[in-house]
Structures are given as C-alpha cells and as structure tokens.
Amino acid sequence: MKLENQVAVVTGGSGALGGAIALELARGGALVVVGYGRNKAAALRTVKQIKAAGGRAFPLAIQVEKSAAVEKAVAEVLRRFGRIDILVNNAGIVRDKLLMLMSEAEWDEVLNVNLKGIFNCCQAVLKPMIARKSGAIVNVSSVSALRGVEGQANYAAAKAGIAGLTRSLVQEVSRYNIRVNSVAPGLIESELTDSLKSKYLKMIPLGKAGKPAEVARAVVFLASADSSYVQGQTMVVDGGLTA
C-alpha cells in the first residue's frame, strides 16, 4: 500500500481514464476524491467500485475551468480530510474540427478546460502542499502535443502547454519537496477515441490501443515515492506511436 494514508484528488474522474486512475490510486491505499464536471452518475459508479474493492473514495463536483469552483472544492477536501497529497489533473474535453472551420468558442472551451483548468487546480492545491512541504502533481497530457493530429489544433495546443507549465512549476516548487510530472497517453480505449482507431491503429508498433489501466499505473508511479527522483518529466504511454 505505497499510498496509504494519502489523499488524492483526481479531476475528470467520471471518464474512462479518470476512473481507472482513481481505482489504481485507491488500490495503492490512497483515499481518492473523484472529481467530476457534469457526469455525477459516472463518478458515483467509480466511487462505488472503489468501495466495493475495500478502498476509500468520495465524489466531488469540480468545474476546473472556474477558479472559484476549484477553490471551493479544494477547501471542501481540506475540511473533510485535512490534507491533499496528490493531485492528478485529468479533466479534459475535445471539440475536434479543422482549424479553418473551428469557432472561437470551440477553441476557448478546450483551452479553458484542458489548460486553464490545470492552472486553477495547481494554484489551489499549492498552498496546502507547500505548508506540508510535500506533494505530487501529475498532469495528463497527450501524444497530440508531440506529433499533432488533424482536427485537434485546440486540443494539441492545450496539451502542449501542459509540458511548459509542468517544467516551469518544477522550478517554483521543488524547494518545497513537491514533484510535478506528466503523462502523455496515446490511443487509449474510451468513448473519445473510438473514431480514431481505424486511422491510428496501423501506426502503433504494438498494434493495439492501450487500456486506461495501463496509463493509470504510470500515473500511480509518478504520484508515489517509487519516482522520488523523477521531476519535470513527461512519460509517454503510447505503444510506440511516437517512437
């Protein structure tokens, strides 16, 4: 139980990847706050699954694109559990469209959730982490930031921004024993990637899409003391797509 007695917050916990990350953190012994934006029912299913396996979990609405909502959510976690040891910034959306056809609203919505949301969440948890002089932040990026994907200019830009944010934050918080890293999943089985499978499967050396649990295990590694000397890195989990 490498994460025993730790409190982990996972944003976007109602999706396939977020749910898998929450489950894996709970298996490691953490008490997991399963954050959700709109799909409360899916978050509750994840919480139920964690509890059925003997873990501890708590659902919490976190609209990551709104700083006041994030601050309120973090205050609620601190009120209930007294600490935040791990933050996994997983919340994300897609609004895929060719750039010349993309509306300003579609650009803004993706950047607000996928990048500004990480800014809001990191800012809110840093004070309690700095006070304790410990913490781990794992940001979920994407291989779209590394190779580009047609129709994902907004998504790729947001995910590429995560790398710069991660490395810059390292320079600010390492002195407080806070580690910041990211993972960049490739084609992972979920409702968001079904339409991409036919195009990208043939490009993946392993010849298959990844499973959410395979990314979740990488997140747990980066969140735990197993990666105590890993700082400011992006771990690519893509079956060789960007090799």
* Residue closest to 195 by CA, chosen among 94, 78, 100: 94
Angle at 116 between CA 199 and CA 90, to 5 degrees: 55
Strand order in 86-89's β-sheet? 56-61, 31-36, 7-10, 86-89, 135-140, 178-185, 234-237
Instruction: Render pLDDT for 79-123 as a digit per residue (tens, 0 to 9).
Output: 999 999 999 999 999 999 999 999 999 999 999 999 999 999 999
Structure tokens at 175: 């002195």
Phi, psi at 39, each rounded to 5°: -95, 75
Q: What is the pTM of this model?
A: 0.95
- pLDDT value at position 200? 80
- pLDDT value at position 190? 77
Distance CA 95, CA 158 (A): 12
- pLDDT value at position 107? 98
DSSP-assigned states of every residue in 161-205:
HHHHHHHHHHHHHGGGTEEEEEEEE-SBSSTTTGGGHHHHGGG-T
Task: Place 194 in a pLDDT band, splitting at 50, 70 and 90.
Answer: low
Instruction: Render pLDDT for 114-167 as a digit per residue (tens, 0 to 9).
Output: 999 999 999 999 999 999 999 999 999 999 999 888 999 999 999 999 999 999
Strand (E) or helix (H) holding 57:
strand 56-61
Distance CA 121, CA 67 (A): 8
User: Is 200 a known active-site residue?
Assistant: no
| Catalytically annotated residue among 155, 176, 200, 229 | 155
Query: 101-105, 193-197, 214-218, 237-241: which range is least confident on average?
Result: 193-197
Structure tokens at 183: 């993972």
Query: 33-42, 121-130, 194-203: which range is least confident on average?
Result: 194-203
Mean pLDDT of 56-73: 98
Residue 4 Cα distances to 48, 49, 86, 221, angstroms: 19, 18, 12, 14
